[in-house]
């Protein structure tokens, strides 16, 4: 590394949120919460990253209180006395270590298969009863289902604030429920929730509005969104900056404070004719702070965790480029995933010039909670 790392370590403030630096732990599903309850091992897992100077912890996806919200074994819930008591311990541990923390609130939508906990008889819920374009699964949501899910997100956000979380992230990416409404391929509705971009946005806008109503004006709401889907890495919600602006502005108006623009590699440009990535374009078009993400600190790229693809060798884009982009103001925050999974002290080692001590990402990191 040859550059000044200062842009990574500048404090960040928004409303009542105060971060000691610009680095966040990206949300990563871990499957270590039996019956939806995060235990002491989960507390310790997040505490270790906060103790190692990560500014913001974004938790793994936590399911809202709707029968079809969960799609995987042993993922944590964000409802019920036991689960919320577990999350309170996580919040306290992160705060004691000097960090801030958001829960990622999640509904998997049409990804869910019958037989999945907590109630195996529940189907997947989605805009049009599709897992992917042309691939049916579960049931198409009624207007009553839509209202129930909106309420569930509001309830979860209200609980997050009561527990002492510093803000919330809404999972609107990667082909899960919110993204299934946004994506034309899975939203084939002919009512006010389908068709035009404005209509496909309506469900997510109404969730943001409900969350804002529940938490008040100064509590940070972050929305994670992506072009790519686990069902199709080449899928796109928008194809031009003009379409992206049309997509973003209603969300800003509804109350999104920070956009978490999920890409697989942070250094890749989003549109022809500009080096800006998706987070960069989002910040340019809205003026709202954005968080970038994608293979920071990795020497190879592969999607792991709740879904997987073949390994794919890529040229590593170094920390220097990340710092340069942040110094130019392309985006305000950066999320780091697998590098922090592999080594909780990754950020400290970057800061102290000890990157030679960081091992390559190993798949075993996915099967342990350290």
Which residues does the annotation mark as catalytic? 176
Distance (Å) of CA 247 to CA 120, 176, 204, 278? 35, 18, 11, 13
Strands (E), 248-308: 258-262, 290-293
Which phi and psi (to 5°) does residue 41 adopt?
Answer: -65, -35
Distance (Å) of CA 293 to CA 23, 32, 101, 124, 290? 10, 24, 17, 28, 10
d(CA 87, CA 38): 7
Which phi and psi (to 5°) does residue 177 adopt?
Answer: -55, -50
d(CA 246, CA 236): 14
d(CA 12, CA 18): 6
Handedness of CA 302, 303, 306, 310 (dihedral sign): negative
Q: Where are the alpha helices (DSSP H) in the chain?
A: 6-9, 40-51, 81-96, 143-163, 177-182, 197-215, 241-254, 278-286, 319-327, 338-342, 346-351
DSSP for 89-134?
Answer: HHHHHHHHTT-EEEEEEE--GGG--TT-SS-TT---EESSSEEETT
Radius of gyration of the chain (CA): 19
Cβ-contact 140, 129 below 8 angstroms: yes
Which phi and psi (to 5°) does residue 9 adopt?
Answer: -110, 15
Buried-exposed string 122-157: b where 16+ CB fall within 10 A, e elsewhere:
bbbbbbbbbbbeeeebbbebeeebbebbbbbbbbbb
Q: Tell me the CA end-to-end span of the chain in Å, nearest whole number.
A: 27
């Amino acid at each position: 590394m040859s550059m000044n790392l200062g842009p990574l370590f500048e404090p960040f403030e928004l409303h009542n949120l105060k971060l000691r630096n610009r680095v966040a732990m990206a949300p990563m599903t871990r499957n270590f919460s039996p019956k939806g309850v995060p235990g002491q091992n989960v507390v310790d897992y997040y505490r270790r990253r906060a103790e190692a100077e990560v500014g913001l912890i974004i938790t793994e996806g936590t399911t809202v209180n709707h029968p079809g919200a969960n799609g995987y074994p042993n993922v944590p819930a964000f409802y019920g006395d036991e689960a919320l008591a577990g999350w309170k311990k996580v919040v306290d541990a992160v705060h004691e270590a000097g960090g801030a923390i958001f829960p990622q609130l999640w509904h998997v939508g049409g990804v869910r298969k019958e037989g999945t906990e907590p109630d195996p008889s529940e189907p997947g819920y989605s805009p049009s009863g599709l897992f992917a374009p042309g691939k049916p699964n579960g049931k198409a949501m009624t207007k009553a289902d839509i209202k129930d899910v909106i309420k569930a997100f509001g309830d979860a956000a209200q609980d997050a604030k009561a527990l002492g979380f510093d803000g919330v992230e809404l999972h609107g990416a990667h082909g899960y429920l919110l993204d299934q409404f946004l994506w034309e391929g899975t939203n084939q509705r002919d009512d006010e929730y389908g068709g035009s971009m404005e209509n496909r946005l309506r469900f997510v806008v109404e969730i943001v509005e409900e969350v804002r109503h529940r938490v008040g004006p100064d509590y940070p709401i972050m929305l994670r969104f992506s072009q790519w889907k686990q069902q199709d890495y080449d899928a796109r919600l928008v194809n031009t900056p003009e379409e992206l602006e049309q997509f973003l502005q209603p969300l800003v108006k509804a109350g999104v404070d920070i956009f978490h623009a999920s890409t697989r590699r942070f250094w890749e440009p989003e549109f022809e004719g500009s080096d800006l990535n998706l987070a960069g374009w989002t910040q340019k078009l809205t003026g709202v702070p954005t968080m970038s993400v994608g293979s920071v600190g990795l020497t190879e790229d592969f999607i792991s965790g709740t879904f997987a693809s073949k390994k794919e060798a890529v040229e590593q884009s170094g920390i220097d480029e990340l710092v340069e982009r942040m110094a130019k103001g392309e985006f305000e925050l950066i999320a780091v995933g697998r590098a922090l999974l592999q080594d909780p002290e990754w950020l400290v080692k970057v800061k102290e010039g000890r990157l030679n001590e960081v091992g390559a990402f190993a798949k075993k990191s996915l099967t342990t909670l350290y």
